[in-house]
A and B are shown apart, each in its own frame.
Chain A
Amino acid sequence: MSCLGFLTAAQREALAASSAAGAPLSTFASPAASPGKTRRVRSLAGSADARIRESAALSAHAPHDVLTVLAGDPISSVRACVARNAGAGPLLLRRLSGDPEAVVRAWVAANPQVTDDVLQLLIGDADPSVRAVVEWAGRWPAQEGGTR
């Protein structure tokens, strides 16, 4: 028995239409940031494993209070992940611009939401790698709201 026999003409037509050229293959949408997803990020942020806390600090769905706690994490790689997160916000980025570790301050300078006034704070940073990132950040076109 041929498998073709399972398909009606209408089904074949529907199949062909569903893969018509030109239509986007996907909406690329992810599940919404449900309360469950937020709870999951909170749980990850409390992990004893710094690598797991890094993931929470990078999450696009990390609530601000979670990022605030992680900005004070004893492990610098976790704080660096907060500094990388585009949702960290200006206050946290300003706080992290004073971090004792250069890698954290460098990620603050690289954050697309960093404001010009914070970049100004870092322009004279003692660490050359931070100054290099500030120079690079300054080459991005300025956005509305003074971010880079």
Chain B
Amino acid sequence: MTQTDVRPDQTFRGILGTGIEEGLLLKPVTYQWAMDLYDQAVANTWFPNEIQLGEDLADFERMSADERAALTHLMSYFNPNELLVNKALAFGVYPYVNAAECHLYLAKQMWEEANHCMSFEYVLETFPIDRAAAYESHVTVPSMAAKEEFEVRFIKRMTEQTLDITTTEGKQDFVRNLVAYNVILEGIWFYSGFMVALSFRQRNLLRNFGSLVDWIVRDESLHLKFGMNLVLTVLEENPDVATPEFADEIKQMILDAVEMEEAYNRDLLPNGILGLNADYINTYVKYLADRRLDELGFGAHYGVANPAKWMAAANDTLQLVNFFESTNTSYEVNARQG
């Protein structure tokens, strides 16, 4: 950080802060990565009706009851949780970040979460899915409710008046919320759902729904980058935060989240569909958790290989290379056996 990087309205205090009058000038940009991500996010702007979901209706009609149940389960989870991310951003991130370029990106991300919510609403409007059942599941299915409760706990803490972002404890609360909504919710749980959602297309079903999910994943990959950069910047600027005890706690949060996702996926796929079963998805969840742990500097915990190489991210978006390597006889047999 050089003196020329300091905005004229403030002395440099880092990325965290709560002053309403501060962070109102964009230049000079301190965190260029946030500006770059904003540009990419704006260029990515898309709308749900650009995808002709109605063309997938014939596929929906020929899907099995278990396949339809899985799609409903996904909508039940994704729809409210896109809005939950917005609550995490509005209550737990935006008020405590001091850089205008970060506020720009967060504003675009919040619109994207709304756009994703409406995309899933578009799915519910298009397919004959029992909307009441879909809306209800996120509170009545224990494994789904547990994931939501986990997130809500961290967001609530960010709204308490006792939180002081200038203290080590306050900064740790900020990082906890970031890890909960960004690393866990968006970086592990959402990707687990994306994999199931895209497996329909892999099996020649719901092609347009797959395109919709492609666009969402393209946005989410940027959300992940932003959140991870924010975590790492806060840790870099505040060396008091990453105590050994706090590091252990963060790692344990991620390991707990994997356990919650395992229970959720057993409810999602009690019988296996489309060559997938809960064990297969949960191996992918552990692979994702290892990647996130590695990005946070912990190193891998589970040491599992990616079972879904077709979900490999290259250039931050899904690529078709390796898309079909998942046609693996052993897990197909397992899926049929439940």
Contact = CB atoms under 8 A, between A and B. Distances in A.
Interface in B303-322: 315-317, 319-322
Contact of B40 (A26, A51, A86, A102): A51
Interface in A97-135: 102-103, 106-107, 110, 112, 129, 132-133, 135
Given A28-B49, A56-B43, A129 B324 contact: yes
B118 interface: yes
B43 A55 contact: yes
B226 to A, nearest CB: 14
B118 A28 contact: yes
A29 B49 CA distance: 6
Contacts of B50: 30, 60
A28 to B, nearest CB: 4
A55 B320 contact: no
Contacts of B319: 80, 103
B321 A44 contact: no
Interface residues of B, number: 27
A52 B43 CA distance: 6
Nearest to A83: B320
Interface in A51-97: 51-52, 54-56, 58-60, 77, 80, 86
A30 B51 CA distance: 11
A132 B324 contact: yes
A145 interface: no
A28 B320 contact: no
A29 B78 CA distance: 21
A102 B121 contact: no
Given A29-B49, A55-B40, A140-B204, 6 more contacts: A26-B121, A28-B121, A56-B43, A103-B319, A129-B322, A133-B323
